[in-house]
Structure formats: structure tokens, C-alpha cells
């Protein structure tokens, strides 16, 4: 738990040449009102006068009994212990690790040493990735894989050196390995400071506030189109496609900007988890509900959408518009008032239908054979606390060495509050958070680790449900 | 039990003086038989105060660039050695603050400094290396790199120096720098204390235990169960008692008879926050303890390790350390808010 007086610490990892020093210099030279102390391992890389720069000699040791989870950085305990005495000189710490460092012992230091834990809070782990070279590194080195696995934020740097389609593939591969991390693309580490500092990624109470569903989801939809519409009747039509059905959620009044789109997407992930109502052709599609369009009939099929007031309508569709040649048009049903003339000033009209004001294709899941992957478990309902305890204890005992990060929230039977948790290897931290209120009770758990057996884990978790 | 009355010392502690420095005081020390008390702070300044009135006698605001790491007073009390983040060892004339010698030890932090018992040698450590120097600051030898950073230094006798680091205590011959002995223990040793006769060496470990060795017969033992890492250790003047921190209580092990093996330690309960400093009086079994919430207590400790409070006082911040005047008649505490509080200690 973080108290406001604790000094936040951001760990900066990444291979040599990934741009850590560039990012460090960018952060230090920008006006953000913070006084930052930098702890670096690689001597003399940073040449910034105004910053308090301390060199640390990487010393990893086991706290006791040879357990990997009790491995900490002894040098950091000493350096941070000394920095505590100079707290009036700074209010943030950036901790740069060597390119070859395993972030585990660094992160664990903030939980294993009482004195450090009482004065500092781990804010987040930022991993810089050289988009041009990471593919080779991931194949060859355990460290770079671990740096991806531990990250809260992955900065895909040097994107100017890589083709767009390769970037998409790379991003998909990284997301598959670590679905908790936010991925940002950048050139010369040119990211906005709030994307890397004050993330509160390890603060359980912030986890749900920032991201009600914090999974960087493997979105159940592939395409979103936002349309500006005036009142009237519209027709959504589709050709034959790869599947006999297609899931869809329509969101009203979604602002056509990226932030609203992300929020809408998170909301829709929840709707997609609910049972779908089947809608046959020629019927109206209800708003804000998970529906499954029935497309078994051959030929082009139409569904009705009724708009009562001017709105921006977002369609979150299971498949891309191209796959079904999906289009939205003003209805030419004779019973409906003719709207064509004033239908849309915002949407250019084509013969095929209206063009969306904003369109987005979501990164779809791709299969890779990386040994590090994310296992996400989602389930509605309540869990039995005793069963869950027994399962987690067993899981961490047997697989703790291979689990790099975990986060989640759980609905425990008989408890009115969400139980939130997070962990690094076998270190587990959890407590009750805000009340469920009227929200549907469900569970979301993510584990990032090596050689995790996702299906077994899911089955075992489901066995804990009441 | 003593009670800490608002801003007033209680029991054997009586008002002496209060002074302050502008930055976090890192270390202090009495000089000239208690006439002066010196403090080094995190800005790199050294200040010397009159030990009775608290008047500042001298100061040097540029003693070290970037913070003092440690201070040590020569046994005769006439010289003060300081080490800092600038890699320097500096020796000062305690009476007037004149710089006597300055030696560059390393490019990084020099963390520890200690005069030998005769005052003929000065040991310093920086990172993984310990260096022995003459009292005038000439290097005699430097050790090979230890397996990890040297976390504590202690003079056994004038002929032998000991160091603690991850996994071991190492003993060095003072004149040759050769290793006399290694005592190994799989743990990160964070503190070290030697009994006055040099027979017992005790180390606090990061894994919340205290390990000690008797060098005369090779017997060693471990005491565990501390809630915090026991980074504070102190032997009584007669070597009978080892006071240990590692939480809110002070735990005292008695070496009377065949102890402390098989005995129950004395536990001194009063502090409401982890104990941050411990020091035994130079001539009596009186222990001073300071805690992170800013209280100092003086205890009378019996041969079995049990004790009772004799007096106490609040200070302005988390107690960094406590220092008995060489005659035991005065006690100084330095705290995180920059306060230097000195009490007279009533004779009992």
C-alpha cells in the first residue's frame, strides 16, 4: 500500500542501445516540476548537471534459503537507505538497470526490505524496446524476454527504422507475452512523461480506478466504426462472410476521439462477456447490448437501427467491416421518413453507405511460440475463499519461479468489496478494495510467466467458483 | 517505565543544549575528552559545538562534496576523520577544524571510516575494497575486492581489522593486509560489533537474524525471530551484554556463564517505532536507545540482560544515532530533522 509520503520509483529497463539514456535525458530535461534522483548502473552515461545521479554496483543476493523470490539488490538497499536521508532534495527516483539485468531482484527489493518498503513505492517498470533489433534479442536472450514480461509499460522505440506491418506484428507478439503492459510506439524515446511516470502500477487501489478492466484486452472485437448520425432509420447490411454469425455491440454518444474509443472498448469488453441476444435479419438492433447477428441465410442481409436524436454511434464488431462488406446506410424502407437529403452533413455519403468519422482495427491475437506468455482468466460469479487460497498457494509454490507478474481482482463469496491483488514471483500482496455495489460480480486475473499452462490454470480457477 | 513528557527530559536525563544543522546529520562524535561534539551532514558540512553550551566553535561547509558518509574520532580525541560521497578521506584537527590531511580513496562513495584502538591506523572502505592507512593518511594497503560491498568495519586489536559483507566476515593483518581468517555465513551481513576483548564478533543479517562467533573456540550461534533486520548492535563495556535492535523492542543477550545459548534474552519494551540506534555507556551497563519516532531512553541493564528505564527524552525527529560522552556523564542524539540534543546524565 502506498502512502502519499513515499517516494515513487520508476524502473527503466531495456537492452543496451534501446534508448534508455535518451529517455532518461528527455525526462530530466523536460519541465515537469519534479526533482528526480537517478540511480544508474552503467557508469557515466548520463551527463545531466541538475540531476542527482548515483552509481550503484549491481549486487544481487538471496535474502534467505536460496529462493529466487527472496533475491534482492543489496546495493540498492544501501543506496536507497542513504537517499532516504536526502529526501528534501528530490521527490522521484528513476532507477536505470543494465541492459542485461533481470528486473526481478530490483522489483523485489521494494517489497522484501521493510525499511525500503516504508519509504519508497515502486511506481512502475518501463521497458524500452529497440523495434529494429528486438526480434533477434527475444530469440536469443532470457534477459530481454524477462524485461518484456515484467513491464508495466513497453516503449516500442525506433519505430522509424521499421516497416508499419512489421511493427504491428511485433506489437502483437509483445502483447501476447505481456498483456498487462501498455504498449506505446515512439521514435527517439519521444513519449509524453505521463506515459512513464506516476503510473501507480503497483498501487492496488489505483489499479481499478485507472483501468476498470486492466487487461490490455485480447479484444473480442476486431473493428470499430464511429458514425455521426441524425435521427432516422438506418440499415446495417452485410454480405456472406467467414462465420455464420457475428457479435456486435452498439454504443451511443461515443465521442470520436481515441480516449473515448478506449473507454468504449473497455466497456464493450464487459458487454461481450455477457450472453448475446440473437438478432435475425430485418430486425432492429438494440443499443448497448451484446447481440449476435444471424447471418446463415445467403446473400446480403440487413438489420435496422433506429436513431431518435442526433448522436455519434460506435459499432464494435467481432469482425472487420471488409470481411462481411459491412455498411451502414440510411434506410430506404418506404415506411420510414425520407432522410437522405439531410441525413448527414458529417458523414460523406457514398453509394455503399455512410463513411465512419473514425475507424479502428483492434490488434488481433496472434500465435507465437515465445515461452513467455500471458494467461488471462475471466469469469463471472463468486469464488470460495478457501479453495482460492489453496489453489493460489499451490500455484505459487509450484510455479512462482516462472511467474513474473500477476494482477487481478476477485469476487469472494460473502464479501461486499472487490479483492485486488498483485505479485512478483512468489511475493503476493492483496486486500479488499471498493465495494461491488450494483456492478456484476466477476473475476479477472492475469499471470505473465514462462511455460504457463493456461488451460490448466483456467480450469483450476473455475473449480474455485461457487 | 519512563514517560516522555512533552519536550522535557525525564529521570536521569537533564536538559543540556539543543543545536541544529541545516541538513540531515549523518554521524557525530565527541572530541577533546568531551569538550566538543562534532556532526557531519548530508550536505557535506562538518560542525563542531561546545559540549556544554552548544555554541558552534567551528564549521566547514565544504568538507566534502555531496555528503558525509561517516566520521571517526581518534582515540585521544584530538583528530576527527571524515569520509564522503566525493571519495575523500579528510583528517581534521578537532580543536579548530584545521584540515590536516586529505587522501583520495576512490572515485565513488567512501562509506566507512574507523580509527584503530591506538590511533595508529585508519581503516576506510569504499565499495568492495577496504584500505588501511597510517594516522597521517598514507595508504599502507588495500584489500582485494570482497565478493560484495563492505557493509561494516571493526578493529579487533591494533593488529587486526575485520570487515563484514555478503556471506562472510574477513579478518586482516594490519601491517601486511594478509587475510588471517574468514568466517562464512550465507546471508547479507549489515552490521558488525566486537566485544571489547575482540573474542566475540556479532553481525546483524538482512534475513532478520543476528549471528555471532567466538573466535577463541570457534563456536558460533544464530539468533533469529527479529521483526526487522537488526542493523543496530552494541556490546557493553565489559563484553557481557550484546544489545540488538531489529524492531521496536531492544533484545539483550547475556554472555554470562554459558550464555546466551539456551537462555532467554532480556527484552526492553518502550519504543513505538523501530529502534534506530543503540549505545552502551563507556563505564556502566547503561544503554541508550533511540527510535524512528524520535524518542531516546536510557536503561539500566542487569547481568542477565533484563533492564529498567532510568530516563528518557523526546527529540525533534527519527533518531539517527546516540553518542555517550567519554566520561558517560553526557549523552548526545542526532536526528533526522537536523536536531542535535545533548543531555547531562545524572549519576546513579
For chain A, the helix, strand and coil percentages under 3-state DSSP, each to the nearest 5: 30, 30, 40
User: Does the beta carbon of B291 lie under 8 angstroms from any beta carbon of chain A?
Assistant: no
User: Does the beta carbon of B42 lie under 8 angstroms from any beta carbon of chain A?
Assistant: yes
Distance CA A203, CA A4 (A): 11
Q: Is A345 exposed, middle or buried (CB count within 10 Å of its CB: 0-12, 13-18, 19+)?
A: exposed
- Answer yes or no: is pLDDT of A214 > 70: no
Question: Which one of B83, B148, B165 makes the best mutation probe of the A interface by having the most chain A beta carbons within 10 Å?
Answer: B148
Q: Find, in chain A, the residue whose alpha carbon is nearest to that of B166.
A: A61
Distance CA B160, CA B141 (A): 13
pLDDT of residue B163: 97
Contact of B288 with B314, CB cutoff 8 Å: no
Chain B: closest CA distance from residue A274 (Å): 48
Distance CA B155, CA B176 (A): 15
pLDDT of residue A344: 42
pLDDT of residue A343: 41
Contact of B139 with B180, CB cutoff 8 Å: no
Q: How confident is the model at residue A26 (pLDDT cuts 50, 70, 90)?
A: confident
Question: Which one of A37, A65, A74 makes the best mutation probe of the B interface by having the most chain B beta carbons within 10 Å?
Answer: A74
Averaged over B292-318, what is the pLDDT? Answer: 93
Return the percentage of chain A with pLDDT > 90, whole number: 24
Q: How confident is the model at residue A211 (pLDDT cuts 50, 70, 90)?
A: low
Distance CA A292, CA A246 (A): 5
pLDDT of residue A368: 53
pLDDT of residue A424: 87
User: Does the beta carbon of A31 lie under 8 angstroms from any beta carbon of chain B?
Assistant: no
Pairing of strands A232-238, A301-307: antiparallel
Distance CA B291, CA B278 (A): 9
Residue A441 is inside which H or E element, if any? none
User: Does the beta carbon of A115 lie under 8 angstroms from any beta carbon of chain B?
Assistant: yes
Residue A175: phi, psi to the nearest 5? -65, -35
Round the average pLDDT of chain B to a whole number and report it. Answer: 93
- Three-class SS of chain B: CCCCECCECEECEEEEEEEECCCCEEEEEEEHHHCEEEEEECCCCEEEEECCCCCEEEEECCCCCCCEEEEEECCCCCEEEEEECCCEEEEEECCCCCEEEEEECCCCCCCEEEECCCCCEEEEEECCEEEEEECCCCEEEECCCCCCCCCEEEEEECCEEEEEEEEEEEEEECCCCCEEEEEEEEEEEEEEEECCCCCEEEEEECCCEEEEEECCCCCEEEEECCCCCCCCEEECCCCCEEEECCCCCEEEEECCCCCCCCCCCEEECCCCCCEEEEEECCCCCEEEEEECCCEEEEEEECCCCCEEEEEEEECCCCEEEEEECCCCCEEEEEECCCEEEEEEECCC
pLDDT of residue B18: 94
- Contacting residues of B for A77, CB less than 8 Å apart: 206
Pairing of strands B10-11, B13-20: unpaired
Least confident segment among A60-64, A112-116, B52-56, B72-76: A60-64
Contact of B109 with B149, CB cutoff 8 Å: no
Contacts of B229 (CB under 8 A, 6+ apart): A113, A114, A115, B190, B204, B205, B206, B207, B208, B246
* A216 compared with A142, residue with greater pLDDT: A142
Question: Which one of B21, B22, B27, B42 makes the best mutation probe of the A interface by having the most chain A beta carbons within 10 Å?
Answer: B42
Averaged over A411-417, what is the pLDDT? Answer: 92
- Contacting residues of B for A74, CB less than 8 Å apart: 148-149, 166, 188, 206
Q: Which of A57, A61, A85 sits opposite B42 (nearest CB)?
A: A85
Contacts of A16 (CB under 8 A, 6+ apart): A42, A98, A99, A100
pLDDT of residue A340: 43
Q: Is B35 exposed, middle or buried (CB count within 10 Å of its CB: 0-12, 13-18, 19+)?
A: middle
Q: Find, in chain A, the residue whose alpha carbon is nearest to that of B292.
A: A115
Q: Do B229 and A63 touch (CB under 8 A)?
A: no
pLDDT of residue A263: 85
Q: Do A74 and B42 touch (CB under 8 A)?
A: no
Coil, strand, or helix at residue A6?
A: coil
Residue B21: phi, psi to the nearest 5? -115, 165
pLDDT of residue B341: 96
User: Does the beta carbon of A2 lie under 8 angstroms from any beta carbon of chain B?
Assistant: no
Q: How confident is the model at residue A33 (pLDDT cuts 50, 70, 90)?
A: confident
Contact of A85 with A37, CB cutoff 8 Å: no
The count of C-alpha atoms lying within 13 angstroms of the C-alpha of A149, restricted to the half-sphere facing its C-beta, is 31
User: Does the beta carbon of B78 lie under 8 angstroms from any beta carbon of chain A?
Assistant: no
Distance CA B10, CA A417 (A): 48
User: Does the beta carbon of B166 lie under 8 angstroms from any beta carbon of chain A?
Assistant: yes
- Contacting residues of A for B228, CB less than 8 Å apart: 114-115
Q: Domains in chain A, please, with CATH?
A: 7-202 (3.40.50.300), 223-361 (no CATH), 372-462 (3.30.1220.10)
Let me know how long chain B is: 348
Strand order in the sheet with B286-291: B10-11, B307-314, B295-301, B286-291, B275-280
Round the average pLDDT of chain A to a whole number and report it. Answer: 82
Instruction: List, for residues B40-80, the tens digit of each pLDDT value.
Output: 999 999 999 999 999 999 999 999 998 899 999 999 999 99
Instruction: List, for residues A35-56, the tens digit of each pLDDT value.
Output: 888 888 755 444 554 456 776 7
pLDDT of residue A46: 47
* B14 compared with A335, residue with greater pLDDT: B14
Chain A: closest CA distance from residue B207 (Å): 5
Q: Minimal CA–CA distance to B150: which of B134, B133, B131, B135?
A: B131
Averaged over A250-267, what is the pLDDT? Answer: 87
Q: Do B149 and A57 touch (CB under 8 A)?
A: yes
Distance of CA A455 to the CA centre of its chain: 21
Q: What is the pTM of this model?
A: 0.73
Q: Which of A72, A74, A85 sits opposite B24 (nearest CB)?
A: A85
Pairing of strands A353-354, B36-41: unpaired
- Contacting residues of A for B151, CB less than 8 Å apart: 78
Coil, strand, or helix at residue A317?
A: strand
Distance CA B233, CA B246 (A): 9
pLDDT of residue A206: 63
Chain A: closest CA distance from residue B107 (Å): 11
Q: How confident is the model at residue A324 (pLDDT cuts 50, 70, 90)?
A: confident
- Answer yes or no: is pLDDT of B6 > 70: no
Chain A: closest CA distance from residue B88 (Å): 16
Q: What is the dihedral of CA A310, A316, A319, A323, to 10 degrees?
A: 10
Q: Which of A57, A85, A114 sits opposite B26 (nearest CB)?
A: A85
Distance CA B345, CA B11 (A): 9
pLDDT of residue B198: 94
Distance CA B76, CA A304 (A): 98
Chain B: closest CA distance from residue A407 (Å): 27
Distance CA B94, CA B74 (A): 9
Instruction: List, for residues A272-311, the tens digit of each pLDDT value.
Output: 878 899 999 999 999 999 999 999 988 889 999 999 999 9
Averaged over A133-145, what is the pLDDT? Answer: 79
Contact of B81 with B72, CB cutoff 8 Å: yes
Distance CA A458, CA A443 (A): 12
Chain B: closest CA distance from residue A59 (Å): 7
Residue A174: phi, psi to the nearest 5? -65, -40
- Contacting residues of B for A90, CB less than 8 Å apart: none
User: Does the beta carbon of A429 lie under 8 angstroms from any beta carbon of chain B?
Assistant: no
Q: Find, in chain B, the residue whose alpha carbon is nearest to that of A78.
A: B151
The count of C-alpha atoms lying within 13 angstroms of the C-alpha of A301, restricted to the half-sphere facing its C-beta, is 19
- Answer yes or no: is pLDDT of A175 > 80: yes
Which of A413-422, A429-438, B34-43 is modeled with the greatest confidence? B34-43
What region, left, alpha or beta, does residue A282 occupy, with left being phi > 0 and alpha being psi -120 to 50 degrees?
A: left
* No. of helices (H) and no. of strands (E), chain A: 12, 25
pLDDT of residue A375: 86
ipTM over 0.95 threshold: no
Q: Do A74 and B166 touch (CB under 8 A)?
A: yes
Q: Do A55 and B108 touch (CB under 8 A)?
A: yes
Contacts of A66 (CB under 8 A, 6+ apart): none
Distance CA B276, CA A17 (A): 43
Instruction: List, for residues B78-100, the tens digit of each pLDDT value.
Output: 999 999 999 999 999 999 999 99
- Contacting residues of A for B227, CB less than 8 Å apart: 114
Least confident segment among A54-58, B190-194, B309-313, B337-341: A54-58
User: Does the beta carbon of A113 lie under 8 angstroms from any beta carbon of chain B?
Assistant: yes
User: Does the beta carbon of A75 lie under 8 angstroms from any beta carbon of chain B?
Assistant: yes
Distance CA B148, CA B127 (A): 8
Helix orientation angle between A103-112 and A142-150, rounded to the nearest 10 degrees = 40
Distance CA B95, CA A436 (A): 69
Chain B: closest CA distance from residue A370 (Å): 35
Q: Is B118 exposed, middle or buried (CB count within 10 Å of its CB: 0-12, 13-18, 19+)?
A: middle
User: Does the beta carbon of A119 lie under 8 angstroms from any beta carbon of chain B?
Assistant: no
Q: Do B188 and A75 touch (CB under 8 A)?
A: no
- Answer yes or no: is pLDDT of A449 > 50: yes
Averaged over A337-366, what is the pLDDT? Answer: 58
Return the percentage of chain B with pLDDT > 70, whole number: 98
- Contacting residues of A for B27, CB less than 8 Å apart: none
Averaged over A358-367, what is the pLDDT? Answer: 67
pLDDT of residue A133: 83
Q: How confident is the model at residue A333 (pLDDT cuts 50, 70, 90)?
A: low
Amino acid at each position: 500500500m502506498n502512502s502519499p509520503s513515499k517516494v515513487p520509483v520508476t524502473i527503466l529497463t531495456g537492452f543496451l542501445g534501446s534508448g534508455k539514456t535518451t529517455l532518461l535525458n528527455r525526462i530530466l530535461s523536460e519541465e515537469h516540476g519534479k526533482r528526480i534522483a537517478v540511480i544508474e548502473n552503467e557508469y557515466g552515461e548520463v551527463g545531466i548537471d541538475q540531476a542527482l545521479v548515483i552509481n550503484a554496483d549491481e549486487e544481487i543476493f538471496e535474502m534467505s534459503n536460496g529462493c529466487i523470490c527472496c533475491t534482492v539488490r543489496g546495493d540498492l538497499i544501501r543506496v536507497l537507505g542513504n537517499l532516504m536521508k536526502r529526501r528534501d532534495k528530490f521527490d522521484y527516483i528513476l532507477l536505470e538497470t543494465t541492459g542485461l539485468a533481470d528486473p526481478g531482484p530490483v522489483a523485489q527489493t521494494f517489497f522484501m526490505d521493510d525499511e525500503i518498503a516504508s519509504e519508497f513505492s515502486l511506481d512502475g517498470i518501463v521497458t524500452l524496446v529497440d523495434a529494429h533489433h528486438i526480434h533477434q534479442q527475444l530469440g536469443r536472450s532470457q534477459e530481454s524476454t524477462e524485461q518484456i514480461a515484467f513491464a508495466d509499460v513497453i516503449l516500442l522505440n525506433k519505430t522509424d527504422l521499421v516497416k508499419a506491418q512489421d511493427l504491428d506484428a511485433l506489437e502483437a507478439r509483445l502483447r501476447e507475452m505481456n498483456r498487462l503492459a501498455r504498449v506505446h510506439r515512439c521514435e527517439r524515446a519521444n513519449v509524453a512523461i505521463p506515459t512513464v511516470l506516476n503510473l501507480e502500477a503497483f498501487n492496488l487501489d489505483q489499479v481499478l480506478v485507472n483501468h476498470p478492466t486492466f487487461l490490455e484486452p485480447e479484444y473480442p472485437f476486431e473493428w470499430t466504426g464511429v458514425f455521426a448520425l441524425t435521427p432516422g432509420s438506418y440499415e446495417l447490411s452485410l454480405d456472406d462472410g467467414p462465420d455464420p454469425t457475428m457479435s456486435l455491440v452498439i454504443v451511443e454518444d461515443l465521442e470520436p476521439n481515441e480516449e473515448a474509443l478506449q473507454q468504449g472498448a473497455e466497456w464493450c469488453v464487459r458487454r461481450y462477456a455477457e450472453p448475446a441476444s440473437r438478432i435475425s435479419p430485418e430486425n432492429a438492433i438494440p443499443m448497448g447490448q451484446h447481440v449476435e447477428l444471424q447471418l446463415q441465410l445467403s446473400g446480403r442481409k440487413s438489420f435496422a437501427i433506429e436513431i431518435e436524436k442526433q448522436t455519434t454511434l460506435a459499432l464494435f464488431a467481432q469482425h472487420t467491416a471488409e470481411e462481411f462488406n459491412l455498411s451502414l446506410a440510411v434506410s430506404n424502407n418506404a415506411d420510414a421518413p425520407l432522410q437522405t437529403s439531410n441525413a448527414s452533413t458529417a458523414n460523406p455519403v457514398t453509394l455503399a453507405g455512410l463513411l465512419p468519422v473514425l475507424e479502428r482495427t483492434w490488434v488481433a491475437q496472434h500465435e507465437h511460440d515465445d515461452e513467455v506468455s500471458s494467461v488471462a482468466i475471466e469469469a463471472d460469479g463468486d469464488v470460495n475463499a478457501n479453495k482460492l487460497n489453496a489453489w493460489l498457494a499451490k500455484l505459487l509454490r509450484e510455479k512462482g519461479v516462472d511467474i513474473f507478474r500477476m494482477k487481478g481482482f476477485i469476487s469472494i463469496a460473502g464479501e461486499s468489496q472487490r479483492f485486488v491483488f498483485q505479485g512478483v514471483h512468489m511475493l503476493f500482496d492483496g486486500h479488499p478494495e471498493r465495494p461491488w455495489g450494483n456492478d456484476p460480480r466477476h473475476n479477472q486475473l492475469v499471470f505473465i510467466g514462462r511455460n504457463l499452462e493456461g488451460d490448466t490454470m483456467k480450469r483450476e480457477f473455475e473449480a474455485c467458483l461457487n | 517505565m519512563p514517560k516522555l513528557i512533552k519536550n522535557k527530559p525525564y529521570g536521569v536525563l537533564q536538559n543540556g543544549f539543543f543545536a541544529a544543522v541545516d541538513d540531515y546529520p549523518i554521524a557525530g562524535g565527541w572530541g577533546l575528552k568531551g569538550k566538543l561534539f562534532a556532526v557531519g551532514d548530508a550536505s557535506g558540512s562538518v560542525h563542531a559545538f561546545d559540549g556544554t553550551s552548544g555554541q558552534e566553535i567551528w564549521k566547514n561547509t565544504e568538507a566534502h562534496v555531496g555528503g558525509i558518509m561517516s566520521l571517526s574520532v581518534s582515540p585521544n580525541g584530538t583528530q576527527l576523520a571524515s569520509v564522503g560521497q566525493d571519495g575523500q578521506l579528510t583528517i581534521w584537527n578537532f580543536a579548530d577544524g584545521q584540515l590536516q590531511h586529505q587522501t583520495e580513496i576512490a572515485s565513488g562513495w567512501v562509506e566507512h571510516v574507523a580509527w584503530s584502538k591506538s590511533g595508529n591506523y585508519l581503516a576506510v572502505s569504499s565499495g568492495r575494497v577496504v584500505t588501511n592507512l597510517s594516522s597521517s593518511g598514507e595508504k599502507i594497503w588495500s584489500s582485494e575486492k570482497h565478493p560484495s560491498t563492505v557493509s561494516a568495519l571493526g578493529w579487533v586489536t591494533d593488529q587486526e581489522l575485520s570487515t563484514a559483507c555478503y556471506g562472510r566476515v574477513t579478518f586482516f593483518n594490519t601491517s601486511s593486509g594478509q587475510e588471517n581468517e574468514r568466517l562464512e555465513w550465507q546471508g547479507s551481513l549489515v552490521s558488525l560489533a566486537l566485544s571489547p576483548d575482540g573474542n566475540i564478533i556479532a553481525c546483524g543479517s538482512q534475513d532478520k537474524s543476528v549471528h555471532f562467533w567466538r573466535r577463541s573456540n570457534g563456536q558460533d550461534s544464530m539468533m533469529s525471530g527479529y521483526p526487522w533486520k537488526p542493523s543496530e548492535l552494541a556490546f557493553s563495556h565489559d563484553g557481557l551484554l550484546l544489545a540488538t535492535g531489529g524492531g521496536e523492542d531492544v533484545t539483550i543477550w547475556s554472555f554470562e556463564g554459558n550464555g546466551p545459548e539456551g537462555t532467554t534474552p532480556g527484552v526492553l519494551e518502550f519504543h513505538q517505532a523501530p529502534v534506530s540506534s543503540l549505545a552502551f555507556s563507556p563505564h556502566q551497563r547503561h544503554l541508550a536507545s533511540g527510535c524512528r519516532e524520535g524518542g531516546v531512553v536510557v536503561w539500566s541493564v542487569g547481568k542477565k540482560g533484563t533492564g529498567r528505564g532510568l530516563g528518557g527524552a523526546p527529540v525533534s525527529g527519527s533518531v539517527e544515532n546516540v553518542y555517550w560522552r567519554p566520561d558517560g556523564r553526557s549523552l548526545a542524539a542526532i536526528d533526522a530533522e537536523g536536531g542535535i540534543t545533548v543531555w547531562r546524565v545524572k549519576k546513579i
